[in-house]
Structures are given as structure tokens and as C-alpha cells.
């Protein structure tokens, strides 16, 4: 499946690209170091620059999504094409996906948008995850 997706996106099929896609599909919101560590468990050797190059190519091709919540390094995920959003815990930094708001959501309508054709909205919600709420309430 991954090889077909790479070809369909106009990308060559390489071991690093396949490994990065596999890591991203395992789930989560991962930074480059986490991805590199997991890829290196699968491949004999791959440079950090190669990981950056693969992530850039996958992001440009729409096979990976790069997000940058305030105060964190760039994170990558495999969930693409559905315009979902994220919630970030202020306590531990955990990030979870939130499906896109449907129906009336005036904050997601940019109005004139200065002539831009808007095709995606990126919203980040902030709060405390259940574990951090318990720690706060019992700490």
C-alpha cells in the first residue's frame, strides 16, 4: 500500500520513505528525532538529514502532515486530507486529534481572506488532559 501511495504521489519508492510512512502510520504526533529513532530500528543506517528530506517530500506530496503547536518542535502525522484539528495539554504536552467542526462555525470563516482561496483551517485547542486534571486536583 505505501509503495503505491508513493508512486501515485509521483515519488520514488525508497526504503527510508517506506520506513517513515510506516512509523507515521503507527500513530501519534511525532517530532523528527522520534521518527528518526524509530526508522533506525527498521533500517541499518539513515541520516537525520535524510529523515528531514523524506518528511519534507511526504508533506509536500500530501502523504504526511506537519503541525507546529506553539512551544513545540515541528510534529508529523499520517492523518491527512480531512482538515482535522488538535488539542494540546498544557500540563504534559500530549496532543490529540479533534475532527473538524461542522455546521455553523463563524470563527472558521475568514470572510474576505484578502483574496486568498482558503482550503484548510488549522485550529489548536489548549487545555488539560484527563491525567493532568487528576494530578492538579489531587496534587
pLDDT tens-digit series, residues 105-131: 666 667 766 788 777 778 888 999 999
Please tell me the predicted confidence (pLDDT) of residue 107: 63
Asked if 68 and 46 sit in the same domain, the reply is yes
Residues of the chain with pLDDT under 50: none
State in Å, rounded, how far the first CA of the chain is from the last one: 47
Supply the pTM of this predicted model.
0.84
Grid cell at residue 54: 523524506
Please state the domain count of the chain. 2
CATH number of the domain where residue 128 is located:
3.30.1490.190
Of 41, 76, 111, the position where a domain reaches its end is 76
Asked if 98 and 39 sit in the same domain, the reply is no
Asked if 29 and 69 sit in the same domain, the reply is yes
Please tell me the predicted confidence (pLDDT) of residue 19: 97
The parent domain of residue 14 ranges over: 2-76
Amino acid at each position: 500500500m505505501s509503495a503505491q501511495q508513493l508512486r501515485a504521489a509521483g515519488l520514488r519508492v525508497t526504503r527510508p520513505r517506506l520506513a517513515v510512512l510506516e512509523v507515521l502510520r503507527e500513530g501519534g504526533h511525532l517530532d523528527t528525532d522520534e521518527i528518526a529513532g524509530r526508522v533506525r530500528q527498521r533500517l541499518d543506517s539513515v541520516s537525520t538529514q535524510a529523515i528531514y528530506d523524506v518528511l519534507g517530500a511526504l508533506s509536500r506530496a500530501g502523504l504526511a502532515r506537519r503541525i507546529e503547536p506553539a512551544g513545540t518542535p515541528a510534529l508529523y502525522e499520517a492523518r491527512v486530507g480531512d482538515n482535522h484539528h488538535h488539542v494540546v495539554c498544557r500540563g504534559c504536552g500530549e496532543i490529540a486529534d479533534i475532527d473538524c467542526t461542522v455546521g455553523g462555525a463563524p470563527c472558521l470563516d475568514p470572510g474576505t481572506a484578502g483574496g486568498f482561496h482558503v482550503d484548510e483551517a488549522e485550529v489548536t485547542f489548549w487545555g488539560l488532559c484527563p491525567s493532568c486534571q487528576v494530578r492538579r486536583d489531587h496534587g
